[in-house]
Structure 1
Amino acid sequence: MKTNLSSQIKLDRIPKRYYAPDGELELAALTREEKVYTKIFEGSDEGSAYVAHDIAELIHKCKAEHRHCVLALGSGVGTHPVYAELVRMYQAGELSFSNVIVFNIGEYYPLPEGAPGTMSLLKELLLDKVNIDPENIHTPAKMISKEDVYVYCKKYEEEIEACGGIDLVLCEIGTAGNLAFNEPGSQLNSSCRLMLLGSDARHMASSQFNSSENVPRCAITLGISNLMAARRIISVAWGETKANIVKRTIEGEITDLIPSSFLQTHRRAKVVLDLSAAEALTRISRPWLVTSCEWDEKLIRRAIVWLCKVTGKPILKLTDKDYNDNGLSELVALYGSAYNVNIRIFNSLQHTITGWPGGKPNADDTFRPERAKPYPKRVIVFSPHPDDDVISMGGTLKRLAVQKHDVHVAYETSGNIAVGDEDMMRYIMLIDNIAKKFKFDTPELLKESSEIHKFIEQKKDGESDTPDIRFIKTMIRRGEARTACNYIGIKPENVHFLNLPFYETGTIKKGDLTEADIKIVKDLIESVKPHQIFVAGDLADPHGTHKVCLDAVLAAIDEIKDEEWMKDCRIWMYRGAWAEWEIDHIEMAVPLSPEELRQKRNSILKHQSQMESAPFLGDDERLFWQRAEDRNKATADLYASLGLASYEAIEAFVEYHPIR
C-alpha cells in the first residue's frame, strides 16, 4: 500500500545541476540572485536528514570542546521530520543530548494549564525521547500577568546570555515570512516580547487547537535581534505553499514586512528547502537567466510565456531581438529563428484547448488532449469535499454530462465539520416545525431535538460535535451536493458518498490514510471501470484533506494500474479554489462561455452552507464562487494575452501518469 504518491508527482524535470551542482563555480553562477546560503534537496526527507546531521555535528563539536551546545528550537511543522531524525540517531546510539541546552523560541500566551502549546510539541517530538537534562530545557512561561511580561522577557534573554548565547537556531519560514512568532512588521532590533499573532499564524495552529478560534491571540517570542545574535541559523521550508515567500526571503529586498528576509543580514544563516519550496527561485523557475539550460517542451513553454509578459507581446510577435535581449538566445540558436520557436509553442498551447473534455467523437484526435474513442466514456470525478467538483471543474462537469458521457461523481469525505452550528440549527428548527405540523413529533424526536439544542447552547470552543450532530451536518452537505449534481445533469444513481474513514474524527485533525480508505476508492473504480478519472491535484491545499484524498485515489490506481481496462483510462488532475496550474503544465484547457460560467456559479451556490458563514473560508475574503471565477478568467486572459483565442473563462487540467 503506497499512501504518499502525491509527493512523487514531478510536474517539472529539474536537472540536478540546477539545485545541486558539482562545482563551486557553477553554484556561484546559479545562486547569484540569492542573498542567503541555500541548500535544495529533491524531497523534504533528504533535507530534514541533512539538517539533523548538521545539528548532530554541532553537538559533537561542542562536546569535544567540553562545553554545552545551546539550541533555540521552533515547533513549526517543517521542523518535525528533523526532530524525528534526531530521535532516530539518539536511539541508534549515534548521538547524545547530555550536553545540550534548549530554549523554546516562542510560546502561545496566555496558555491555560493542560492546553497544547509549542513546548508540549517539542517534548512530544524530541525532548521526552532523548537524554536531555530537564533542567536544561527553557521555555517562556504559559501564564504570567501582562504587567510582568516585559520583565519576564528580559529575564528570558538573560538566561540565554548566562548560557553563553545561542549556538544554533532551528526554525521554519512561516507562510507570511515569520520567524518564530515574529509577524510582518517586526523590526531587526526587536527583542523578546509579547506578539499579537496574525491570521496566518493562527490558521496554521488551528489543527493543534481544534479551531482557529481556540488559538491564543498572542505569543511570547524571541525577537529578530535574539535570533540574529545566534552563531548559526538554519531555517527550513517544505512544499509549494512556501515557494513565493521563500523567493521573497532569499532573493527579495530586506524588509520588515517579511521578517525572514532578515536572514540576509546573518553571516552564517542557511535556508534548507525541497524542490517544491524552491520552485520560484530563479535557478529553478527561470534557469535561463543564470545558466545554460537543458531545454524540454515545458521549459521552452515557460520561457516563452515569461518572455511575452516581459515584452508585453503575444507569442507570434516575438522577435530575435526579444530573445537575445532577455537571455534566451540559446533558443534562437537551437531552433534557427524566433519564428520557429514561436510557432512551435503557439501550436503546443493551441492544442491544449478543447471544448470536448471527454474527446470529440468521429473527429481526428491527433492534436487533441483527449482521444475520440470510446464514445461515450465512463467518467469518475473524485471530489475531496462535497463542493470541490463544481468549484474546480463545474463547467467541464456540465460539458461531460451534456455531451452524453456516463459521469459519476464521488465525494470522498462528508465535509461535515465545515457546516456551521447556525446553519445546522436552521434545519433543526425546520424539522421541529414540520414535525409539529404533520404530527410526527414523537417523544424520541422531541428528546433528540432538545438534546441538540442544549448541546449547542453549552458548546465550548473547540468541542467536537456529537455523532448525531455530525450526521445532520453530513446530511446537509449531501443534500446540497445532490442538488448541485441534479442542476448540472448528473444522474442521481451516479452520485456516490464514500465517507472515507480517515476524515471521520469529528475534529480538524484527521486520521492517517489506511487500507480501508483505499479499498473504498478501489471498489468504486473497479465497479465503474472508467475511461477517465478526474481527481483534485491541490497539493497546496491549506487544509491537507485534498492531499490525503489525492493519495487515496492514487494508491487505489496503483493497485489496479496493470488491469487491462485501466490501461485505457486517463487520469486528469484539476485544481480548486486555492491555486491554478501554471500554464507550462496545462495539458487540457476547457473554455467556458459567459453562460456556462454563470451556470457554474449557480452550481456552486447550491452549496448554501459554504457561503458567508462557512467555518473554513480562510483568509481570502472572496467566496468560493468568486475565487473560482477569478481564477478561470485569469487563465483565459493569459491565453488571450499570448495571442490565442479569447474566452470568458478556462478550466485547466494536467494528466497524471501512474508511477511504474
Structure 2
Amino acid sequence: MRTNLSSQISLNRVSPKYYKPENTIDRSVLTRFEKIPTNIYETVDEGVKCIADEVIRKIQERQHDGKFCTLALGTGASLRPLYAELVRRHKEEGVSFRNAVIFNLYEYYPLSEQGSSSIGQLNELFLNQVDIDRQNVFTPDGTIPQDAVIDHCLLYEQRIKTYGGLDIVLMGIGREGNVAMNEPGSTAASITRLIFVDSTSRSEAAHNLGVDNLPPCSITMGINTIMEARRVYLLAWGDDKTDIIKQAVEDKISDTLPASYLQMHQNATVCIDLPAASHLTRIQRPWLVTSCEWTDKLIRSAIVWLCLLTGKPILKLTNKDYNENGLSELLVLYGSAYNVNIKIFNDLQHTITGWPGGKPNADDTYRPERAKPFPKRVVVFSPHPDDDVISMGGTIRRLVQQGHDVHVAYETSGNIAVGDEEVVRFMHFINGFNQLFDENQNETIRKMYADIKQFLLQKKEGDIDTRDILTIKGLIRRGEARTACTYNRIPLDHVHFLDLPFYETGRIEKNPISETDVQIVQKLLQEVQPHQIYVAGDLADPHGTHRVCTDAVLAAIDEEKNAGAAWLKDCRIWMYRGAWAEWEIENIEMAVPFSPEELRAKRNSILKHQSQMESAPFLGNDERLFWQRSEDRNRGTASLYDKLGLACYEAMEAFVEYKPL
C-alpha cells in the first residue's frame, strides 16, 4: 500500500539541466542569482544520503587522525530524514559515532522537568540510537535560574572553543528565516544567549515536537557561533519552504532574515529538494539564466510573468517586450509575439468554466470537464469539517444547483480545533435543556457537566482533553458541518464523517497514516463510485493534516486502481487549495468563476462554522479569519485573470487535475 503519493505530485516537470549542471561553467551560469551554494535534489532521500555521506566522511577522517568531530545539531522537521539515515548507517553498516561531540543548537526556556525539550527530541531521533559517548553530548540547560543564564551561555561558548570549534553545523530554516532560534533582528555578532521566541517560531517548534505549547524563550547558539563553524549545512524540504529559501539564497543580507548571513560563510551549503527549490530563479524563471526547454506550462508561466512585469494584458505584448526581458527564444519558436500571445490566451480562456461538473449537451473539446455522464456522482473530501466550504464552497453550490449528486466526506473530527469555551456553552445548553424538559433530570448529564467544568477549571497549558471533551468538540464540528451542508442543499445522508483514526491523539502531533485510514476512505469510494473526486492539494498546510488526508485518499484510489475497479476509469480527480495557498496560474486547469451574490453565499456557508471564528485555536499568524482569507484568495485569482485580459469576474476557485500514478 503506497501511503506517500502526495510526495510524488509534480505539477511542473523540471528539466535536470536546471538543477544538475554538467560542469562548473554551466553551474556558474545557472546559479548567478544565488549567493549561497545550493544543491537541489530530486527527492529527500537522495538529498539526505548525499549529506550523510559527507558527515560520515568527516567523522571517519577525524577518527583516522585520532580526533573528535564536533557537530552542532538542530531538531527541526527537515533534519529528521537525515537522522534516520545516519541511524540506519550505524545499525546496518556499522558506522561509529564514538568520536563525535554533540552541541545542541538550542533549548527552550524555562523548562519544567516534565516539559518537552529540544535535547529530548534529539535523543529520541538520533543520539539514543547510535554509539555516541554520552559524556560528549552538550546542551544548554533550560532549567537553570534566570540570573545564571548569562554565565551558562558564556560557559557553553567556552566549551565549544575547548573542543577546537565546530566542524559541522546541521540545521533547518524556520518560516521567518530563523536559524537555530535566532529570530529576525539577530545580529551577525550574536553568540549563545537567551532570546525571546515569537509566536510563529514557537508554534512551528511546538508542531515539530508534537505539543500544544512551548516556553516563550530559548537559549540558542548565536549567529557568530554558527558562522565560525568550518562547515554548515542548511536543510529544507517541501513546498512550505519555497519563499523563505529564495529570500535567504537570493536576496540581500539582512538581520530581518537571519539565514541570509550564510551568504558570508565560506563553506555553507543549502540542501533542498525540487519542491523547496521551486521559487529559485533557475527553477521558476529559467529563461533569465539560460536557454530553456520550453513546455506548455513553462511558456504560460513566462507569459504571465511578462504581463505582470510590463503591466500589459496578454494580447498587448509586443516583440519588444519579449526581446527586452529574456524571452526572445519564444519569438524564434513561434515567429512573433502575436502567435505566442494567442496560444496562451486561448489556453487560459479554456480553463474558465461555469460548469465544474461538465455542461450537458455541449461540445466539451476545450472544456476542463466532460459533458457526460450527466449528472455526475461527486465526492468532496474535506480534511477538517470546514475545508470544503473554505476551499471550494462556490463550486459545491454550483455542482448542487446544476443537478449533480454531491457527497461531502469529512476525513477528521477536527476536535482539537475547538476552544474550551465552546464546550462550556454547549454543555450549559444541554444541562439547561435537561432541567427544563427531562422530568427525571438525567443524572449522567448532570455529572458529566460538573466533571467537565471541574476539568476545564484546572486545565493547564499542554494538558490533553478528556475523551468526553474531545467527543463533544467533535460533535460541535459535526453540527456545524451539517448546518453548512444543509445551507448548500446537500442531503444529510450524503454527508459522511470518516473520523480517520490517525487524527485522534488529542494533540497537534498525529499518528502515522495506517491501512485502517485508507480502508475507511476506500469503502466510501466503493459505495459511491464517483465520476468526480475533489481532494485537498494545499500540502503546505502548517499542521500537516491536509497532506495526511490527501495521502489517505490517493492511497485508496491507488488500491482501487490496482484492484481494477471499473468506476475509476470514468472518474476525474481534482485538487483544490483554500486557506493556506492558491495554485500558480500556470498550473490551473479549471477555474470556476462566481458572482458577488455567490461569493456572499460561500461566505455564509463558512460562517456556519462558528467555532472556527475569532476564538479558534489554530488560526495561525494570519490575522484574517478563514472566510476573509478565502475571499481575498478567490478575488485575487479573478483579478489575475482580469489583468491578463481575460473575463472579469468577482471571484474564482481554481483546481488542478490529479492523474493516478
Aligned to 2:475: 475
Who is 1:223 aligned against?
222
Name the structure 2 match of 1:605: 607
8 Å contact from structure 2 (residues 105, 139) kept in 1: yes
Q: Which residue does the alignment assign to 2:510?
A: 510
State TM-score, norm by structure 2: 0.99
Question: Aligned AA for 2:218?
Answer: A
1:362 is matched with 361
In structure 2, give the amino acid aligned to 1:119.
I
The Cα shift of 1:127 comes to: 0.9
Question: What residue identity is the alignment partner of 1:600?
Answer: K
**Equivalence for 1:398:** 397
Could you tell me whether the CA contact under 8 Å between 1:191 and 1:222 is conserved in 2?
A: yes
Q: Which runs of 4+ in 1 moved over 6 A?
A: none
Amino acid at match of 1:321: K
Structure 1 window deviating more from structure 2 (148-157 vs 560-569): it is: 560-569
Q: Give the 3-state SS of the residue equivalent to 2:95 in structure 1.
A: coil
Relative distance call for 1:94 and 1:323 in structure 2 (3 A) is: farther
CA distance in 1, matches of 2:209, 2:334: 57
How much does 1:65 deviate?
2.1
Which of 638, 641, 644 is equivalent to 1:639?
A: 641
Distance of 1:254 and 1:452 partners within structure 2: 52
Shift of 1:506: 1.6
Task: Please tell me whether residue 104 in structure 1 is matched to residue 79 in structure 2.
Answer: no
User: Match of 1:657?
Assistant: 659
Equivalent residue number for residue 424 of structure 1: 423
The 5 Å alignment of 1:556-595 reads 556-561=556-561, 562-595=564-597
Is 1:10 aligned to 2:18, yes or no?
no
Q: CA deviation at 1:94?
A: 4.2
Which residue of 2 is the match for residue 89 of structure 1? 89
Q: Does 1:352 align with 2:356?
A: no
Mapped partners of 1:182, 1:247: distance in 2:
19
Residues 284-337 of structure 1: per-residue CA shift (max 9 Å, x gap): 000000011111110000000000011110000000010000000000100010
Aligned to 1:411: 410
What TM-score do the two structures reach when normalised by structure 1?
A: 0.99
Give 3-state SS (helix, strand or coil) of 1:354's partner.
coil
Write out aligned runs for 1:7-86 (5 A). 7-86=7-86
Whether the 8 Å contact between 1:175 and 1:200 is mirrored in structure 2 is: yes
Within 2, Cα distance between the matches of 1:2 and 1:105?
35
- Alpha-carbon distance, 1:91 to partner: 1.2
**How far apart, in 1, do the equivalents of 2:210 and 2:279 lie?**
32
Shift of 1:206: 2.2
User: 5+ residue gaps in structure 1?
Assistant: none
Question: Structure 2 matches for 1:442-591, cutoff 5 A?
Answer: 442-561=442-561, 562-591=564-593
Cα displacement string for residues 148-197 of structure 1 (whole angstroms, at most 9, x for unaligned residues): 11111111100000110111111001111001000001010111100100
Q: Could you tell me which amino acid in structure 1 is paired with residue 142 of structure 2?
A: K
Q: Taking every aligned residue pair, what percent have the same amino acid on both sides?
A: 60
- The answer to whether the 8 A contact 1:209-1:215 is kept is no
What amino acid maps onto 1:190 in structure 2?
S
- In structure 2, distance between residues paired with 1:94 and 1:19: 33
- Offset, 1:113: 1.2
Q: Whole-Å Cα distance in 2 between the matches of residues 329 and 628 of structure 1?
A: 38
2:381 partner SS: strand
Q: CA deviation at 1:459?
A: 1.4
Aligned to 2:242: 243
**d(CA) in 2 for partners of 1:196 and 1:313?**
46
**Amino acid of the structure 2 residue aligned with 1:509:** E
The corresponding residue for 2:232 is: 233
Write out per-residue CA displacement over residues 414-438 of structure 1, whole angstroms, 9 at most, x where no aligned residue.
Answer: 1011111001110111111111111
C-alpha separation between the residues in 2 aligned to 1:209 and 1:371? 46
Amino acid at match of 1:651: E
Pair 1:485–1:506, CA change in 2 (3 A): same
Matched to 1:221, the amino acid is T
What SS does structure 2 have at the residue aligned with 1:474? helix
Displacement of 1:575 in angstroms is 0.5
Contact 1:210–1:462 (8 Å) recurs in 2 = no
- Describe the SS at the equivalent of 1:92: helix
Partner of 1:202: 202
Provide the rounded CA distance (Å) in 1 between the counterparts of 2:631 and 2:575: 18
Q: Provide the C-alpha distance between the structure 2 equivalents of 1:425 and 1:445, rounded to a whole number of angstroms.
A: 13
Contact 2:209 2:509 in 1 (8 A): no
Helix, strand or coil at the partner of 2:294: coil
Amino acid at match of 2:574: W
Residue pair 2:173, 2:259 contacting (<8 A) in 1 also: yes
Contact 2:76–2:205, Cα closer than 8 Å, also in 1: no
Answer whether contact 1:576 1:628 (CA < 8 A) is retained. Answer: yes
Deviations 1:374-419 (A, max 9, x none): 1100000000000000000000000000001000000000101111
1:209–1:462 Cα contact (<8 Å) kept? no
RMSD: 1.0
Distance 1:476 1:141 in 2: 42
Partners of 1:460 and 1:418 lie apart in 2 by: 17
Distance 2:152 2:443 in 1: 58
In the TM superposition, what is the alpha-carbon distance from 1:208 to its structure 2 partner? Answer: 5.5
> How far, CA to CA, are the matches of 1:17 and 1:111 in structure 2?
49
Q: Which moved more, 1:577-586 or 1:553-562?
A: 553-562
- What is the identity, as a one-letter code, of the residue corresponding to 1:327? G
Q: Residues 107 and 117 of structure 2 are in contact (CA less than 8 Å); yes or no, is this contact kept in structure 1?
A: yes
